């Protein structure tokens, strides 16, 4: 089946062809006709399935067919600013041959340009809930004309505590409207929200519930916590990885690790909620362009990032919530390309690994940990190398440990070979006692 079989207008077919899409993805096949027909939709779909076009294309078509007003007629709520920016960009790309205006609003940036932008009117508004409520409170946005509401990555919005904000936003909308809810996972909270929000919805499930996409090859290495960074550096260098997204649990941890691996000669940057929007966009852009090899991210910051054909994801620390593992590895193996997800598991994370395996209903193969050099951390250069001031490829000056060299040339530096396998065997022995 092709896009033209889905009943899309020529302007959208042209835009889709410009994007180079040949055939609709499974979610698009089901969602596009349903949304065009005016149905509510409950879709279990992860990022990477083509879900954005699944709701944006029919929304554009419906809005183009009805009379414009100044106020938004479709509202898309997203958990993060990155996802809001991506969805808005997709809507602009797909709608480029239609006379429709798309706006994005999210926190972390000056509200005033958003207020004046909204004054000029828009058809589709993509927003994070908090900023949208701020704008509504300042009477800068009129939501009374919204006829289609999309909750994108609804599970993540609930995880981030947005449920009250979402309820407040819904109160500002007209009661008669079409509702579309997209979620990668189904918790009881999501089911409850769907029951309250959706009217006789079409349920679409494009990947097995709570299961990672098939295309991701998963494995784990056991390694003591304090040696994870050395193993990581080894894996990146030895594997010739050129683009790797690394997850840490905390913002501080993301910063520190980004500095450590950059100190080992791998161009890197961190992306998390404490970074300014400009810094996050810049880091992501550099990563996409291949100017940095590693992007170290927290869970929330990485949600919805659309990085084409990302080959490698590393769970530097396992997530506390097993569903987050699914989201994380969904960053790779996207749109038909093969990806690899590697987890570095320290002994205190065994229970987390078991939870993940229980959720996946499969074991994650633990590979023999390769021998790696415990390289000393290079001192940070005086100039900050964060995304705010990153000047491009920064790989120089790193001290590559020499094979077989057991002591650093300078006093105070220690280099030695480390084989975590022996530690692993040791800890297995300990556990079996
Ligand atoms: P999404 O799940 O919406 O984030 O989309 C994931 C990626 O798939 C994006 O890079 C889209 O540009 C791409 N994509 C969406 N639909 C198609 C399609 N029908 N064929 C090929 N790529 C697509």
> Mind listing the pLDDT tens digit for each residue in 116-164?
999 999 999 999 999 999 999 999 999 999 999 999 999 889 878 899 9
82 Cβ below 6 A of ligand 1: no
pTM summary value: 0.61
Which of 51, 52, 206 most suits a substitution to test ligand 1, by most atoms within 8 Å of the C-beta?
Answer: 52
Structural domain total, the chain: 2
Question: Quick one: 183 and 221 in the same domain?
Answer: no
DSSP conformation class of 382: S
Question: Quick one: 193 and 238 in the same domain?
Answer: no
Confidence (pLDDT) at 185: 79
Burial class (CB in 10 A: 0-12, 13-18, 19+), 431: exposed
* Domain endpoint, select from 178, 205, 232: 205
Question: Quick one: 104 and 235 in the same domain?
Answer: no
Q: In whole angstroms, what is the distance from residue 246 CA to residue 183 CA? A: 23
Structure tokens at 213: 């996409």
Structure tokens at 52: 């954005």
Contact 304, 298 (CB under 8 A): no
- Residue 51 Cα, ligand 1 centroid: separation in angstroms? 7
54 Cβ below 6 A of ligand 1: no
Q: Which positions of the chain have pLDDT values less than 70?
A: 207-214, 301-309, 331, 333-338, 375-433
* Domain endpoint, select from 179, 205, 231: 205
Please indicate, yes or no, if residue 430 is contained in any of the structural domains: no
Q: What is the CATH number of the domain that holds 379?
A: 3.40.50.300
Q: Are strands 41-44 and 202-205 parallel, antiparallel or unpaired?
A: parallel
Question: Quick one: 183 and 222 in the same domain?
Answer: no
Question: Quick one: 163 and 230 in the same domain?
Answer: no
Task: Write the pLDDT tens digit of every residue in 56-96.
Answer: 999 999 999 998 888 999 999 999 888 999 999 999 999 99
Question: Quick one: 144 and 95 in the same domain?
Answer: yes
The whole-angstrom distance between residue 88's C-alpha and the CA centroid of its chain comes to 15
Which of 53, 183, 332 most suits a substitution to test ligand 1, by most atoms within 8 Å of the C-beta?
Answer: 53
Q: Where are the alpha helices (DSSP H) in 274-349?
A: 277-289, 299-302, 322-329
Residue of the nearest CA to atom 19 in ligand 1?
A: 24
Q: In whole angstroms, what is the distance from residue 334 CA to residue 341 CA? A: 12
The torsion of the CA quartet 286, 289, 291, 295, rounded to 10 degrees, works out to 50
Give residues with Cβ within 8 angstroms of 307, minimum separation 6: 243, 245, 284, 287, 288, 331, 334
Residue of the nearest CA to atom 12 in ligand 1?
A: 50
Please indicate, yes or no, if residue 405 is contained in any of the structural domains: no
Quote the domain boundaries for residue 62. 3-205
Question: Quick one: 201 and 220 in the same domain?
Answer: no
Please indicate, yes or no, if residue 420 is contained in any of the structural domains: no
Please identify, by atom number, the ligand 1 atom nearest to the C-alpha of residue 86.
Answer: 4
Confidence (pLDDT) at 95: 97
Question: Quick one: 33 and 178 in the same domain?
Answer: yes
Sheet holding 268-271, edge to edge: 216-222, 339-345, 312-315, 244-248, 294-298, 268-271
Q: Where are the alpha helices (DSSP H) in 311-386?
A: 322-329, 350-360
Please indicate, yes or no, if residue 224 is contained in any of the structural domains: yes
Please indicate, yes or no, if residue 41 is contained in any of the structural domains: yes
């Amino acid at each position: 089946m092709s896009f033209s079989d889905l009943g899309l207008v020529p302007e959208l077919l042209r835009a889709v062809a410009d994007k180079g899409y040949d055939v609709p993805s499974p979610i698009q096949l089901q969602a596009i006709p349903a949304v065009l027909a005016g149905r509510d939709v409950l879709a279990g779909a992860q990022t990477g399935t083509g879900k954005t076009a699944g709701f944006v294309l029919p929304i554009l078509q419906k809005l183009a067919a009805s009379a414009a007003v100044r106020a938004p007629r479709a509202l898309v709520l997203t958990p993060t600013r990155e996802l809001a920016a991506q969805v808005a960009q997709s809507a602009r790309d797909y709608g480029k041959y239609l006379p429709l205006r798309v706006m994005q609003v999210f926190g972390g940036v000056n509200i005033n340009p958003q207020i004046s932008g909204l004054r000029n009117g828009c058809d589709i508004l993509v927003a994070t809930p908090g900023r949208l409520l701020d704008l509504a409170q300042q009477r800068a946005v009129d939501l009374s004309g919204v006829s289609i509401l999309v909750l994108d990555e609804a599970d993540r919005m609930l995880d981030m505590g947005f449920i009250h904000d979402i309820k407040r936003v819904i109160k500002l909308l007209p009661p008669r409207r079409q509702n579309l809810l997209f979620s990668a996972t189904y918790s009881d909270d999501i089911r409850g929200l769907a029951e309250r929000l959706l009217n006789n919805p079409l349920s679409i499930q494009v990947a097995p519930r709570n299961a990672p996409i098939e295309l991701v090859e998963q494995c784990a290495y056991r390694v003591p916590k304090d040696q994870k960074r050395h193993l990581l550096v080894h894996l990146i260098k030895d594997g010739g990885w050129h683009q790797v997204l690394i997850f840490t649990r905390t913002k501080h941890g993301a910063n520190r690790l980004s500095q450590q691996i950059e100190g080992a000669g791998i161009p890197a940057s961190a992306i998390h909620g404490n970074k300014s929007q400009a810094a996050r966009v810049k880091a992501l852009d550099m990563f996409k362009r291949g100017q940095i090899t590693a992007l170290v991210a927290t869970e929330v910051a990485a949600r919805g990032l659309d990085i084409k054909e990302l080959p490698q994801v590393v769970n530097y620390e396992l997530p506390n919530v097993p569903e987050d593992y699914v989201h994380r590895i969904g960053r790779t193996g996207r749109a038909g390309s093969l990806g690899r997800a590697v987890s570095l598991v320290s002994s205190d994370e065994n229970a987390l690994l078991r939870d993940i395996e229980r959720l996946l209903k499969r074991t994650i193969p633990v590979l023999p940990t390769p021998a790696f050099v415990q390289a000393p951390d290079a001192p940070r250069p005086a100039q900050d190398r964060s995304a705010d001031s990153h000047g491009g490829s920064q790989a120089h000056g790193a001290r590559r440990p020499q094979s077989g060299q057991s002591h650093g040339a300078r006093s105070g530096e220690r280099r030695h070979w480390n084989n975590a396998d022996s530690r692993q065997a040791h800890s297995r022995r300990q556990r079996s006692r």
